[in-house]
Chains A and B, each alone.
Chain A
Amino acid sequence: MSWSGLFSQLLEIAVALLLAPLLTGWVNQCRAWLQNKSAPSLMLQYRMLRKLFHKESVVAEHASPLFRAAPYIVFGCMALASGIIPTLSTDLPLSPAADAIALVGLFAFARVFISLAAMDIGTAFGTMGARREMLIGFLAEPALLMVLFSASLITQSTSLTGIVETLAHGKFTIYPSMAFAGVAFTLVSLAENARVPVDNPSTHLELTMIHEALILEYSGRHLALIEWAGSLKMFAYSCIGLALFFPWGMAEVDAPGATILALPVLVFKLAIGGALLALIETVSAKMRIFRVPEFLATAFMLAVIGMLVHFLPGA
Chain B
Amino acid sequence: MMMQAYLIQSINLFASALLLLSFAMLSQRRILTLIHLFTLQGAALVAATVVVAYVTDQHHLYYSAAITLVTKVFVIPLLLHRLIDRLNIKWDVETLINIPTTMLIGILLVVFAFNLALPIVKLSSSIAHSTLGIALACVLLSFMMMITRAKAVPQVIGFLSMENGLFFAATAATYGMPMVVEFGIAFDVLVGVFILGVFMFQIREQFDSLDIRHLEKLKDD
Which residues of A are in contact with B by a Cβ distance under 8 Å? 173-174, 176-177, 179-180, 183, 293-294, 297-298, 301-302, 304-305, 308-309, 311-315
Closest Cβ–Cβ distance, residue A306 to chain B (whole Å) = 8
Residues from chain A with Cβ under 8 Å of B134 in the complex: 309, 312
- Contact indicator A297/B12 (Cβ below 8 Å): no
Least CB separation from B98: chain A residue:
A294
Which residues 14-32 in B have Cβ within 8 Å of A in the complex?
15-17, 19-20, 23, 27
Flag whether B79 is at the interface (Cβ < 8 A).
Answer: no
Mask: chain B, 89-120; 1 = CB below 8 Å from A; 0 = not: 00000000001100110110011001000100
Number of interface residues of B (CB under 8 A): 28
- Contact indicator A313/B121 (Cβ below 8 Å): yes
For the complex with contacts A179-B13, A312-B114, A314-B129, 13 further pairs of A-B residues with Cβ separation under 8 Å are A176-B15, A176-B16, A179-B20, A180-B20, A293-B100, A294-B99, A301-B106, A302-B20, A302-B23, A308-B107, A312-B131, A312-B133, A312-B134
Closest Cβ–Cβ distance, residue B169 to chain A (whole Å) = 14
Provide 22 A-B residue pairs closer than 8 Å at the C-beta atoms, listed in order of the A residue. Answer: A174-B13, A176-B12, A176-B16, A179-B20, A180-B16, A180-B20, A183-B20, A297-B104, A298-B23, A298-B27, A298-B103, A301-B107, A302-B20, A302-B23, A304-B107, A308-B111, A309-B16, A311-B114, A312-B12, A312-B130, A312-B133, A312-B134
Flag whether B209 is at the interface (Cβ < 8 A).
Answer: no
In angstroms, Cα B114 to Cα A44, docked, is 52
Residues from chain A with Cβ under 8 Å of B110 in the complex: 305, 308
In angstroms, Cα B103 to Cα A304, docked, is 11
Closest Cβ–Cβ distance, residue B216 to chain A (whole Å) = 29
- Contact indicator B100/A305 (Cβ below 8 Å): no
Residues from chain A with Cβ under 8 Å of B148 in the complex: none
Q: Given the known A-B contacts A294-B99, A298-B103, A305-B19, are A315 and B130 also in contact in the complex, defined by CB atoms under 8 Å?
A: yes
Main secondary structure of the interface of B (DSSP, over half): helix
Flag whether B174 is at the interface (Cβ < 8 A).
Answer: no
In angstroms, Cα B20 to Cα A180, docked, is 7
- Contact indicator B111/A313 (Cβ below 8 Å): no
Of A173, A180, A314, which contacts B130 at CB under 8 A? Answer: A314
Mask: chain B, 129-164; 1 = CB below 8 Å from A; 0 = not: 111011000000000000000000000000000000
In angstroms, Cα B118 to Cα A183, docked, is 27
Which residues of B are in contact with A by a Cβ distance under 8 Å? 6, 9-10, 12-13, 15-17, 19-20, 23, 27, 99-100, 103-104, 106-107, 110-111, 114, 118, 121, 129-131, 133-134
Closest Cβ–Cβ distance, residue B58 to chain A (whole Å) = 19
Q: Given the known A-B contacts A180-B20, A314-B130, A315-B131, are A308 and B104 also in contact in the complex, defined by CB atoms under 8 Å?
A: no
Least CB separation from A314: chain B residue:
B130
Closest Cβ–Cβ distance, residue A288 to chain B (whole Å) = 12
Of B10, B118, B131, which contacts A174 at CB under 8 A? Answer: B10
In angstroms, Cα B9 to Cα A174, docked, is 6
Residues from chain B with Cβ under 8 Å of A298 in the complex: 23, 27, 103
Closest Cβ–Cβ distance, residue B130 to chain A (whole Å) = 4
In angstroms, Cα B104 to Cα A111, docked, is 27
In angstroms, Cα B99 to Cα A180, docked, is 19
Residues from chain A with Cβ under 8 Å of B10 in the complex: 174
Closest Cβ–Cβ distance, residue B96 to chain A (whole Å) = 16
Residues from chain B with Cβ under 8 Å of A173 in the complex: 9
Q: Given the known A-B contacts A308-B110, A313-B118, are A174 and B12 also in contact in the complex, defined by CB atoms under 8 Å?
A: yes
In angstroms, Cα B111 to Cα A315, docked, is 15
Closest Cβ–Cβ distance, residue B34 to chain A (whole Å) = 15
- Contact indicator A301/B121 (Cβ below 8 Å): no
Of A179, A305, A314, which contacts B107 at CB under 8 A? Answer: A305
In angstroms, Cα B16 to Cα A173, docked, is 15
- Contact indicator A179/B17 (Cβ below 8 Å): yes
Closest Cβ–Cβ distance, residue A135 to chain B (whole Å) = 14
Q: A179, A304, A309: which has the most chain B beta carbons within 10 Å?
A: A309
Least CB separation from A298: chain B residue:
B27
Q: Given the known A-B contacts A173-B9, A312-B134, are A301 and B23 also in contact in the complex, defined by CB atoms under 8 Å?
A: yes
Residues from chain A with Cβ under 8 Å of B19 in the complex: 305, 309
In angstroms, Cα B23 to Cα A304, docked, is 12
Of A179, A180, A301, A312, which contacts B104 at CB under 8 A? Answer: A301
In angstroms, Cα B104 to Cα A233, docked, is 30
Residues from chain A with Cβ under 8 Å of B27 in the complex: 294, 298
Closest Cβ–Cβ distance, residue A67 to chain B (whole Å) = 35
